[in-house]
Structure 1
Amino acid sequence: MDALEPAYGTATLLAIAAAAVAVLLFLIMKVKLHAFISLVLVSVATALAAGIPVADVPQALTSAFGDTLASVALLVAFGVMIGRLLEATGGAQVLADTLVTRFGEHRAPFALGVAALFFGFPIFFDAGLVVFLPIILTVARRFGGSVLAYALPAAGAFAAMHAFVPPHPGPVAAGATLGGDVGIILLVNLPIVFIAWYVGVMLVSRFLAARIMVPVPDLLFGPVNGEPEQEGSTHTLAPPTFGLVISILALPLVLISFNTVLTTLVTDGVLEEGLDVVDLLILIGNTPVALLITLLVTIALLGRRGRTLAETTSMLDASLGPICSIILITGAGGMFGGVLRTSGIGEALTSSLTGLGIPLLLQAFLIATALRVAQGSATVALTTTAGLVAAQSAELNQIELALIVTAIAAGSTVLSHVNDSGFWLVGKFFGMDEKTTLKTWTVQETTLGVAAFAVAGLAWPLAGIL
């Protein structure tokens, strides 16, 4: 649902948004009301308080909820089933053992993060996180300690690639709005992302994991591989080979690459629309379709190892139960962010920030940050901010435009909190309550964005003379 004409001034709308977040945190953290109920309740109250017409409130709620579920539910469901098969058959253990053997125990978090950077090139944040989840949890379960040491480097890597690097939709759309060259944006942002990830994610995750103990959750994958899955089970599975596991994990990477690369080429006019082969490859590279194909291949190659198809189906069915709460809470988080967008809070805030006479790079970062905090969606913050600063960017060269995209992406990354569906996804996947998620994921997203903006700021004077 599109944003409505704001019913109140900027100060009033910001006060409503701040009060809504405070009430939500109070209900969840102090009253201990279920997060799903709290999110829906506060979304309704915020919609009414922000002046959304009563007749439009149901659509504002359900459209945002439905949009979030459309992008998350299939990915989480297919991804968790793939992960359960990898874990139950020993595939995740094989990959974890190989990573540890190659890099050593102390470098395992770094290895997971670098692998996530690679896998995150074409795969969206939520899809990549779900597919990588069994590997993260298996490595963490092997060595013990806080799961944050292994989860944050990988999750932060997927978030960084999604926000900063083409062909992900946010930086591509921002670059197109500014008139930037996608290739130059890619070349400029890749080294910036690695530096920002290492400083803002890798080093920060070590600090956080040493101080906050989060046990490895058993929510998604049940018994450790090798233990009986149920009383009387006699399955003794020979683990798959490392090559087979890597092939399964690489399959969605390859399929989704078809979609992202070909869509970019069509958008840039390199390929014509309507070509049957191109349309077919774009279809099978659509993330839910790619994960469905990967799941079917995983069932064929791993699911029948020592099991009947009926037993495999029963195991997959059992894996879906624990994630229903995660999907609903994530959808409700998207609903809350959608209400804030529809109320016009983001637009009111950004209109007050434009034309303040501050440097363009800093202005782009601050506007994107304001939008991110106000309404939660990083993609919306990216595309909206690009439109707001486009007129001031007309005389910039291509490298300067790429750095403006970096600054916008950095602002759209910081301060992930309760109106961001990704906040709930990360928190629930890794067994964190809301307070712990704020102290870890929110902090890390902020340090990632600030680190990327700092690198862009250092490069800005050099870009002006090129």
Structure 2
Amino acid sequence: MNTDEWTQTLGTGPLLGIAACAIAVLLLLIITLRVHAFLALVAVSLATAFATGIPADQVISTLTDGFGSTLASVALLVGLGAMLGRLLEVSGGARSLTDALIRRFGEKRAPLALGVASLLFGFPIFFDAGLVVMLPIIFSVARRLGGSVLLYGLPAAGAFSVMHVYVPPHPGPVAASTLLGADVGLVTAFAVLLAVPTWYLTSYLYGRWAGKRIDLPVPAILGTEDDEDTRTEPPGAGTVAGLLLLPLVLIFANTGLTTAGKAGWINSDAGWFDVLVALGSTPVALLITVFVAMYVLGTRRGRGKDVVERLLDSALGPVCAIILITGAGGMFGGVLRASGIGDALSDALTGLGLPVIVAAYVIATVLRIAQGSATVALTTAAGLVQPLVIGGGFGSVEVVAIVLALAAGSVTAGHVNDSGFWLVGRFFQMDVKTTLKTWTVMQTTIGLVGFALASALYLVA
């Protein structure tokens, strides 16, 4: 889509009014009129594109670009993750690791164990990929111990979210660090120090609170251990842990090689460099893991090739709706970005005269609410405050605090225009109202607590 051929003539007020109306109509269609979320998102995206003045000949390309760019990052990860989850579930691998976790940490600390494991997995792996890999373990623990799936799911999902938004090497904090001239090593160190207490307060404690008040059964979307192709001899917990660590190691190697190449420590022009980096990309790492799991959890344990193929095929059907709805959520966010709503908000907010760290948080928060993408909100807000930071004579730790404040704003109040909202809601089989009461609230607290800690760092720097 080429949006350079037209100029948005609507002012900030009308654009904000259109965005608010679009979100209200979307919620009305899904919650009150019970229209399927995929249809509602596509219809509202189309209406919003016309209402904001996107030229008619560019409307469809705007919709498909937003849809396609989201699917490019989500569809492969969800599909491969679902296949891996299916193999783990049916082979009994998820239960083996669950039993080991419960023996080690005890039943009462199972949500804590899942959350800590997710924090570790979340260091190099993206939010959506990490979540789909952990889901079979989360569901197995919930089935074994009973209670709402939120009791176990929110601490884990929150851990991936916290790591993704605050800690390099994830793209948002890396881009913001680069734009503001922050030391990435310092950002990483302070981000980890901020991420752990933020996760504990907003995801672990809140997840336990919400899990006791909202009773959700464990979804059967990845299958159950009582299915037709049930396990014969379950793999050991060490084998399962090794499988889950395989993509982590590959992705971490990708990050390390990329960093070393940019620093000039190794020759990034060599052919082997590009091959190894490609092997460590998230989709390829998951693809390799699925092939290894097919052998380790399938054929090596006596399952025929036709049985393994049937298991993998059965994993894709239940997640098709998740993939389409997530893509449609990305479409809606893409329309809001292409229409210039984010740019209008940026222009209106830059002249407020707030302290830099407060302005960074407010701008990132408003952009996040307006257009959905945390990474876009973070990088856009970083670009807006860049002149203030570069010319402000701030110390290195103060700049780190501003980066973390931007990250805090970019995660605040994720709602219906964020593809992650639909990913979490559909995997846990929550309706929109429940997702708003749980996921949106938790994301908001992740932002608020993170901003408070970043502000404290700024003040003592």
User: Does TM, scored on the shorter chain, surpass 0.5?
Assistant: yes
Task: Provide the C-alpha distance between the structure 2 equivalents of 1:294 and 1:194, rounded to a whole number of angstroms.
Answer: 28
Q: What TM-score, normalized by structure 1, do the two folds share?
A: 0.96
CA deviations over 1:243-279 (Å, ceiling 9, x no partner): 1111100000001112222223334444443222221
After TM superposition, list the pairs within 5 Å mapping 1:294-333 onto structure 2. 294-304=289-299, 305-333=301-329
After TM superposition, list the pairs within 5 Å mapping 1:12-411 onto structure 2. 12-221=14-223, 223=224, 225=225, 227=226, 229-230=227-228, 237-304=232-299, 305-394=301-390, 395-411=393-409
CA contact (8 A) 1:3 1:341 kept: no
CA contact (8 A) 2:368 2:374 kept: yes
CA deviations over 1:151-171 (Å, ceiling 9, x no partner): 000000001111110111110
Task: Provide the C-alpha distance between the structure 2 equivalents of 1:265 and 1:347, rounded to a whole number of angstroms.
Answer: 35
- Segments ≥4 residues shifted beyond 6 Å: none
- Say which SS state the counterpart of residue 194 (structure 1) adopts: helix
CA contact (8 A) 1:2 1:342 kept: no
Q: How many residues end up aligned between the 2 structures? A: 456
CA deviations over 1:44-68 (Å, ceiling 9, x no partner): 0000000100011011000110000
Task: Provide the C-alpha distance between the structure 1 equivalents of 2:439 and 2:30, rounded to a whole number of angstroms.
Answer: 17
- Say which SS state the counterpart of residue 177 (structure 1) adopts: helix
Task: Provide the C-alpha distance between the structure 2 equivalents of 1:131 and 1:2, rounded to a whole number of angstroms.
Answer: 36
CA contact (8 A) 2:80 2:290 kept: yes
Task: Provide the C-alpha distance between the structure 2 equivalents of 1:15 and 1:142, rounded to a whole number of angstroms.
Answer: 48
Specify the code of the residue in structure 2 equivalent to 1:317.
D
Task: Provide the C-alpha distance between the structure 2 equivalents of 1:101 and 1:7, rounded to a whole number of angstroms.
Answer: 63
Specify the code of the residue in structure 1 equivalent to 2:22.
A
Task: Provide the C-alpha distance between the structure 1 equivalents of 2:100 and 2:232, rounded to a whole number of angstroms.
Answer: 18
Specify the code of the residue in structure 2 equivalent to 1:329.
I
CA shift, 1:357, in A, is 1.2
CA gap of 1:268–1:11, structure 2 versus 1, over 3 A, is farther
- Say which SS state the counterpart of residue 27 (structure 1) adopts: helix
Task: Provide the C-alpha distance between the structure 2 equivalents of 1:218 and 1:276, rounded to a whole number of angstroms.
Answer: 44
Task: Provide the C-alpha distance between the structure 2 equivalents of 1:270 and 1:368, rounded to a whole number of angstroms.
Answer: 34
CA gap of 1:3–1:170, structure 2 versus 1, over 3 A, is farther
Task: Provide the C-alpha distance between the structure 2 equivalents of 1:204 and 1:308, rounded to a whole number of angstroms.
Answer: 44
- Name the structure 1 match of 2:429: 431
Measured on the aligned residues, the alpha-carbon RMSD in Å equals 1.2
CA contact (8 A) 2:92 2:231 kept: no
Specify the code of the residue in structure 1 equivalent to 2:442.
Q
- Say which SS state the counterpart of residue 162 (structure 1) adopts: helix
- Name the structure 1 match of 2:448: 450
**Structure 2: any 5+ residue segments left out of the alignment?**
none
Task: Provide the C-alpha distance between the structure 2 equivalents of 1:99 and 1:87, rounded to a whole number of angstroms.
Answer: 16
Specify the code of the residue in structure 2 equivalent to 1:437.
T
Task: Provide the C-alpha distance between the structure 2 equivalents of 1:159 and 1:2, rounded to a whole number of angstroms.
Answer: 32
Specify the code of the residue in structure 2 equivalent to 1:149.
L
CA shift, 1:3, in A, is 5.9
CA contact (8 A) 2:91 2:231 kept: no
Task: Provide the C-alpha distance between the structure 2 equivalents of 1:332 and 1:309, rounded to a whole number of angstroms.
Answer: 35
Task: Provide the C-alpha distance between the structure 2 equivalents of 1:427 and 1:365, rounded to a whole number of angstroms.
Answer: 26
CA contact (8 A) 1:167 1:261 kept: no
